[in-house]
A and B are shown apart, each in its own frame.
Chain A
Amino acid sequence: MNAATAAVLVVILAAAVAAVVFSVHRSRRKDSSACCGCALKGLCNKK
Chain B
Amino acid sequence: MLTIDKLETGREVVIERVGGEGATRTHFLDMGLIPGASLKVVAKAPTGDPIQLLISGYALTLRKADAADIQVRDPLPGELDATAAKVPEDEDNHGRNSYLHDHNAHPGLGEGGKYHSKDHENPLPKGTVLSFALAGQQNCGKTTLFNVLTGSNQHVGNFPGVTVDRKEGVIKGRPDTLITDLPGIYSLSPYTAEELVSREFILNPDTRGLINIVDASNIERNLYLTLQLMELGVPMVLALNMMDEVRGNGGSIRINEMERILGIPVVGISAAKNEGVDELVEHAMHVARYQEAPARNDFCGKDDNGGAVHRCLHSVIHLIENNAAAAGIPARFAATKLIEGDDWVEQALKLGSGEREAIEQIIVTMEEERGLDRAAAIADMRYTFIHKLCAQTVVKPQESKEYRRSRRIDKILTGKWTAIPIFVFIMALVIWLTIDVLGAPLQDLLDQGITALGSDVGSLLARWNVSPAVQSLVVDAVFGGVGSVVSFVPIIVILFFFLSMLEDSGYMARVAYVTDSFLRKLGLSGRSIVPLLIGLGCSVPGVMASRTLPSARDRRKTILLTPFMSCSAKLPIYGFLSSAFFPGHGGLVLVCLYLLSVLTGILVALVGKHIDGSSDPAPFVMELPNYRLPQLRNVGHLMWDKTKDFLQRAFTVIFLATLVIWFLQTFDFRFNMVENGEGSMLAWIAGLLAPLFAPIGLGDWRIVTAFISGFLAKESVVATMEVLDVLSSLTTATAVSMLVFSLLYTPCVAAIAAVKRELGSKWALFVIVFQCLVAWVVAFGAYRLALLIL
Question: Which residue numbers of A lie inside 8 Å of B, CB to CB?
Answer: 1-2, 4-5, 8-9, 12, 15-16, 19-20, 22-23, 26, 31-34, 46-47
- Residue of B169, B175, B653 near A23 (CB, 8 A) is B653
For this complex, 28 residue pairs linking A to B, each with C-beta atoms less than 8 Å apart, are A2-B466, A2-B467, A4-B465, A4-B466, A5-B465, A5-B466, A5-B470, A8-B473, A8-B474, A12-B478, A16-B655, A16-B659, A19-B651, A19-B652, A19-B656, A20-B652, A22-B652, A26-B652, A31-B166, A31-B167, A31-B168, A32-B169, A33-B150, A33-B152, A33-B168, A46-B170, A46-B175, A47-B175
CA distance A27 to B655 in the complex (A): 17
Asked if residues B166 and A8 are in contact (CB atoms below 8 Å), the reply is no
- B contact residues, range: 20 to 34
Min distance, Cβ B789 to any Cβ of chain A, angstroms: 44
Min distance, Cβ A30 to any Cβ of chain B, angstroms: 8
Asked if residues A31 and B165 are in contact (CB atoms below 8 Å), the reply is yes
Residue numbers in B under 8 Å from A1 (CB-CB): 467
Residue numbers in B under 8 Å from A20 (CB-CB): 652, 656
For residue B425, CB closer than 8 A to chain A, the reply is: no
Interchain pairs with CB closer than 8 A, number: 62
Min distance, Cβ A36 to any Cβ of chain B, angstroms: 10
Among A2, A16, A19, the one with the most B-chain Cβ atoms within 10 Å of its Cβ is A19
For residue B786, CB closer than 8 A to chain A, the reply is: no
CA distance A16 to B478 in the complex (A): 11
Among A22, A32, A33, the one with the most B-chain Cβ atoms within 10 Å of its Cβ is A33
Closest 6 CB pairs of A and B: A4-B464, A33-B169, A19-B652, A32-B168, A33-B152, A5-B467
Closest to A9 in B: B470
Residue numbers in B under 8 Å from A19 (CB-CB): 651-653, 655-656
Interface residues of B in 360-418 (CB under 8 A from A): none
Asked if residues A34 and B467 are in contact (CB atoms below 8 Å), the reply is no
For residue B461, CB closer than 8 A to chain A, the reply is: yes
- Residue of B178, B465, B653, B655 near A2 (CB, 8 A) is B465
CA distance A33 to B150 in the complex (A): 9
Residue numbers in A under 8 Å from B466 (CB-CB): 2, 4-5, 8
Given known pairs A2-B465, A4-B464, A4-B465, the reply for A34 and B170 (CB within 8 Å) is: yes
For residue B648, CB closer than 8 A to chain A, the reply is: yes
CA distance A43 to B655 in the complex (A): 23
CA distance A46 to B651 in the complex (A): 25
Given known pairs A8-B470, A9-B470, A12-B473, the reply for A33 and B652 (CB within 8 Å) is: no
CA distance A15 to B653 in the complex (A): 12
- Residue of B168, B470, B474, B651 near A34 (CB, 8 A) is B168
Closest to B469 in A: A5
Among B170, B175, B651, the one with the most A-chain Cβ atoms within 10 Å of its Cβ is B170
CA distance A22 to B653 in the complex (A): 10
Asked if residues B465 and A33 are in contact (CB atoms below 8 Å), the reply is no
Asked if residues B659 and A33 are in contact (CB atoms below 8 Å), the reply is no
Residue numbers in B under 8 Å from A4 (CB-CB): 461, 464-466
Min distance, Cβ B171 to any Cβ of chain A, angstroms: 11
Residue numbers in A under 8 Å from B474 (CB-CB): 8, 12
CA distance A32 to B146 in the complex (A): 12
Asked if residues B652 and A23 are in contact (CB atoms below 8 Å), the reply is yes
CA distance A8 to B165 in the complex (A): 42
Given contacts A1-B467, A5-B467, 6 further A-B contacts (CB under 8 A): A2-B466, A4-B464, A5-B466, A8-B474, A16-B656, A33-B169
Min distance, Cβ A43 to any Cβ of chain B, angstroms: 15
Residue numbers in A under 8 Å from B473 (CB-CB): 8, 12
Closest to A24 in B: B652
CA distance A46 to B169 in the complex (A): 9
Min distance, Cβ A31 to any Cβ of chain B, angstroms: 5
- Residue of B152, B166, B465, B648 near A26 (CB, 8 A) is B648
Closest to B169 in A: A33
Min distance, Cβ A11 to any Cβ of chain B, angstroms: 9
Closest to B168 in A: A32
Asked if residues A34 and B178 are in contact (CB atoms below 8 Å), the reply is yes
Asked if residues A34 and B169 are in contact (CB atoms below 8 Å), the reply is yes
CA distance A18 to B165 in the complex (A): 28
Min distance, Cβ A40 to any Cβ of chain B, angstroms: 14
Min distance, Cβ A16 to any Cβ of chain B, angstroms: 6
CA distance A8 to B463 in the complex (A): 13
Interface residues of B in 430-473 (CB under 8 A from A): 461, 464-467, 470, 473
Asked if residues A33 and B461 are in contact (CB atoms below 8 Å), the reply is no
Min distance, Cβ B608 to any Cβ of chain A, angstroms: 30
- Residue of B167, B175, B470 near A32 (CB, 8 A) is B167
Min distance, Cβ A34 to any Cβ of chain B, angstroms: 5
Residue numbers in B under 8 Å from A33 (CB-CB): 150, 152, 167-170
